[in-house]
Amino acid sequence: MTDQTPDGSAPDAAAAQTPDDLPFERAMEQLEEIVRRLERGDVPLDESVAIYERGEALKRHCETLLKRAEARIQKIAIGPDGRAAGTAPLDVE
């Protein structure tokens, strides 16, 4: 029996895939698995450093994808008659 990642792929295949190639959901799954492994505390130091670095890359990728999604979200502008009058950028601050 071989070890597998939560998505059923071999660990080497998941590690070889760059975060930029992953959709948000897959990147989050991998990041959550890294956190679980590090929290267990049973990972050798060298491997801990490597998976921590992968986690940092996944975190940056997820943040980038979220910022892109926020930029695409628009709010509906309501006209004086109460009806939709178009769209405007969503204020995220």
Q: What is the pLDDT of residues 26-79, one digit of tens each?
A: 999 999 999 999 999 999 999 999 999 999 999 999 999 998 887 777 676 777
- Distance separating alpha carbons of residues 22 and 26, to the nearest angstrom: 6
How far apart are alpha carbons 32 and 60 in whole angstroms? 14
Query: How confident is residue 92, by pLDDT bands cut at 50, 70 and 90?
Result: low
Asked whether residue 23 is domain-assigned, the answer is: yes
User: pTM of the entire structure?
Assistant: 0.64
pLDDT of residue 46: 96
What CATH number did the domain enclosing 45 receive?
1.10.287
* In-domain check, residue 4: no
Residue at token pair 């080497």: 12
Domain that holds residue 68: 11-89
How many domains does one find in the chain?
A: 1
Is 70 in a helix, a strand, or coil? helix
Rounded CA-CA distance 19/44 in Å is 23
Instruction: Tally Cβ neighbours within 10 Å of residue 88.
Output: 10
